[in-house]
């Protein structure tokens, strides 16, 4: 089996403040290591379930957070950003048997994590078809487009609840719960253990039972925290400037919607 893992850091056990998520900050290294440990746990679970090849997208900030020499030999690590509209699942295609998310977090506009956001921390929110859109949802639609089943996610409790509402078969591990500007975390070693077991369980099931449906049409609404960027971003073809902070775009073409998200967001 060929597996894709997309890894972020705001949903990693213990991460609570931006200083723990920003390269160069004093608190960063501890949590980059925990991010690596959680990715490694997912790799070990996948390997025990029969994975032969694992491709990992480091999908946080600089995309240079994961220590590759701490991962199994059958892994490839995608570092940095190519500019692809696939963003956090760069290189995903029909050749993969499953998609796994590690360290994911609640959407911008939702109080599930002190660091809740979607794609860009300068945005108030992104909505798709009237609902707050998480990074999980956007990238899972890419997986659905390529018929790749989403089988596992670890992150904060509110996001795990969202995932179960979309597909109850997806195995989730909530490593923490957000409360205002604080988090309540399980033990980091317990998070690692539960991720490994959860991934193995998820991949041991019939993968055809995992299903996320791709909508037939898309209405994108993006609200910025600061009005300055709004005017230029509204130059995307067919985008509508709703007000000083908000842009709207509609399309029946999912690939066009992805391009709009990449430009506007």
DSSP 174-227: EEEEEETTEEEE--HHHHHHHHHHHHHHHHTS-GGG---PPPS-EEEEEEESSG
What is the Cα–Cα distance from 99 to 106, expressed in whole angstroms?
18
Looking at residues 135-144, what average pLDDT do you find?
98
In terms of DSSP bridges, do strands 218-224 and 246-251 run parallel, antiparallel, or are they unpaired?
Answer: antiparallel
Q: Are 216 and 176 in contact (CB under 8 A)?
A: no
In a domain, 124, yes or no: no
Closest CA to 59 of 101, 108, 28, 31: 101
Looking at residues 135-162, what average pLDDT do you find?
98
Residue 171's domain spans which residues?
2-119+134-209
Q: Are 90 and 140 in contact (CB under 8 A)?
A: no
Summarised one tens digit per residue, pLDDT across range 220-262 is: 999 999 998 898 899 999 999 999 999 999 999 999 999 999 9
The better pLDDT of the pair 62, 121 is held by 62
Assign 263 a pLDDT band (cuts: 50, 70, 90): very high
What is the Cα–Cα distance from 95 to 79, expressed in whole angstroms?
20
Question: Looking at the structure, do residues 28 and 86 belong to the same domain, yes or no?
Answer: yes
In a domain, 126, yes or no: no
Question: Looking at the structure, do residues 57 and 185 belong to the same domain, yes or no?
Answer: yes
Residue 229: predicted pLDDT: 84
Residue 83: predicted pLDDT: 94
What is the Cα–Cα distance from 158 to 101, expressed in whole angstroms?
15
In a domain, 28, yes or no: yes
In a domain, 183, yes or no: yes
Summarised one tens digit per residue, pLDDT across range 165-180 is: 999 999 999 999 999 9
Question: Looking at the structure, do residues 13 and 44 belong to the same domain, yes or no?
Answer: yes
Query: pTM of this prediction?
Result: 0.97
Looking at residues 34-40, what average pLDDT do you find?
98
Residue 231: predicted pLDDT: 87
Looking at residues 201-218, what average pLDDT do you find?
96
What is the Cα–Cα distance from 148 to 25, expressed in whole angstroms?
36
How is residue 140 written in tokens?
């899972």
* CATH number for position 163: 3.40.50.10780
Question: Looking at the structure, do residues 138 and 222 belong to the same domain, yes or no?
Answer: no
Looking at residues 127-145, what average pLDDT do you find?
98
Give, as one character, the DSSP assignment of residue 59: -
Question: Looking at the structure, do residues 60 and 78 belong to the same domain, yes or no?
Answer: yes
Number of domains comprising the chain: 2
Q: End of a domain among 175, 192, 209?
A: 209
Residue 115: predicted pLDDT: 97
Sign for the CA dihedral angle at 91, 92, 93, 95 comes to positive
Enumerate residues 6+ apart whose C-beta is below 8 A from 217: 129, 250, 251, 252
What is residue 204's three-state secondary structure? coil
Question: Looking at the structure, do residues 166 and 236 belong to the same domain, yes or no?
Answer: no
Assign 140 a pLDDT band (cuts: 50, 70, 90): very high
Q: End of a domain among 166, 190, 209?
A: 209
CB atoms within 10 A of CB 238: 10
Q: Are 8 and 135 in contact (CB under 8 A)?
A: yes
Examine the pLDDT at 183 and tell me if it is beyond 90. Answer: yes
Question: Looking at the structure, do residues 96 and 222 belong to the same domain, yes or no?
Answer: no
pLDDT, averaged across the chain = 97
Q: Are 98 and 148 in contact (CB under 8 A)?
A: yes
How is residue 30 written in tokens?
């501890």
């Amino acid at each position: 089996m060929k597996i894709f893992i997309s890894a972020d850091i705001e949903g990693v056990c213990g991460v609570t403040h931006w200083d723990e998520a920003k390269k160069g900050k004093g608190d960063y290294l501890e949590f980059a290591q925990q991010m690596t440990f959680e990715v490694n746990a997912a790799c070990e679970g996948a390997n025990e379930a029969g994975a032969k090849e694992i491709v990992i997208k480091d999908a946080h900030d600089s995309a240079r957070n994961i220590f590759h020499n701490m991962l199994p030999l059958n892994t490839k690590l995608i570092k940095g950003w190519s500019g692809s509209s696939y963003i956090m699942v760069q290189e995903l295609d029909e050749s993969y048997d499953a998609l796994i998310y590690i360290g994911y977090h609640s959407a911008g506009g939702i109080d599930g994590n002190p660091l809740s956001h979607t794609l860009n921390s300068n945005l108030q929110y992104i909505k798709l078809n009237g609902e707050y859109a998480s990074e999980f949802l956007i990238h899972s639609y890419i997986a659905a487009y390529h018929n790749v089943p989403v089988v596992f996610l670890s992150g904060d409790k509110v996001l795990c609840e969202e995932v179960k509402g979309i597909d109850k078969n997806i195995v989730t591990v909530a490593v923490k719960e957000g409360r205002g500007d604080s988090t309540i975390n399980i033990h980091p070693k317990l998070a690692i253990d539960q991720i490994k077991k959860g991934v193995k369980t998820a991949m041991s099931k019939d993968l055809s039972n995992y299903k996320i449906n791709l909508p037939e049409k898309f209405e994108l609404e993006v609200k910025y925290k600061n009005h300055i960027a709004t005017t230029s971003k509204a130059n995307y073809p067919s985008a509508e400037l709703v007000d000083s902070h908000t842009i709207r775009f509609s399309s029946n073409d999912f690939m066009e919607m992805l391009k709009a998200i990449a430009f506007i967001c």
